[in-house]
Amino acid sequence: MGLAKRIIPCLDVKNGETVKGTNFVNLRSAGDPVELGRLYSKQGADELVFLDITASFEERKTFTDMVTRVAQTINIPFTVGGGINELADVERLLNAGADKVSINSAALRRPQLIDEIATHFGSQVCVVAIDAKKVPLAAPEGEAIWSCYLKGGRERTERQLFEWAHEAQERGAGEILFTSMNHDGVKQGFANEALRQLADTLSIPIIASGGAGCKEHFRDVFIEGHADAALAASVFHFGEIPVPELKQYLKEQGINVR
């Protein structure tokens, strides 16, 4: 059977409320993050991810207060990300009650941050999030490559998905959270081919993100994409797929879920 697959609702938080967009833009409100967290915890979600998507300095305090409230409210592990640039940020969020931190832009800019977090707090605390987009190369016969992006998908880097994920693992990341920007919010299914390549070449868990639209997409990401966990937002926030119903469906499909 292998390890049980995890279902992870993701809450993007802006100005203290949960928001959801499509392809990283056009945000709309989806409710209070603490209340949504409480609901998902009761429904049987395995973990939660909270991302401070506009982690500007002034909002840090708001977000930390929210993390404290979440920790007092739910009894499942949760990861927080957004604006984490140094060990002091990690310490602040862990002290507020988070179980893990997710780093993205800061790790691309300064990969040593992964080593530092793994050394100080343990690999299990360090989730490296990778936002990547499949981009065609200039030459007509060129293959498309998966380019990594910074700043919430706004800035393309020289790094490519597979080599960067491998380096993150070598530096001590405990998990990779891969979001396909091409699939984000489109609800046409996850990037299963890329996920399978990640899962089959790395030894740490791969969390799939971007593309969930129906229960079958979750089945496919586990069977075809070999993902260890599937993360989604809008299908949960707007009540399209209740977590208990999804888990029951996956069990019926022969997938080991908690």
Tokens 């050394």 found at: 119
CA 142 – CA 228 distance, rounded (Å) = 31
Q: Smallest Cα–Cα separation from 65: which of 23, 33, 102, 103?
A: 33
CA 173 – CA 117 distance, rounded (Å) = 9
Q: Catalytic: which of 52, 89, 131, 184?
A: 131
For residues 207 and 190, the answer to whether their CB atoms sit within 8 Å is no
For residues 27 and 234, the answer to whether their CB atoms sit within 8 Å is no
Helix boundaries (H) for the chain: 33-43, 60-73, 87-95, 105-109, 112-121, 161-171, 192-201, 215-223, 234-237, 243-252
- Residue 172 token pair: 């001590």
Known catalytic membership, residue 131: yes
For residues 7 and 246, the answer to whether their CB atoms sit within 8 Å is yes
CA 132 – CA 107 distance, rounded (Å) = 14
244 SS3 class = helix
For residues 48 and 236, the answer to whether their CB atoms sit within 8 Å is no
CA 86 – CA 113 distance, rounded (Å) = 7
Known catalytic membership, residue 12: yes
Catalytic residues: 12, 131
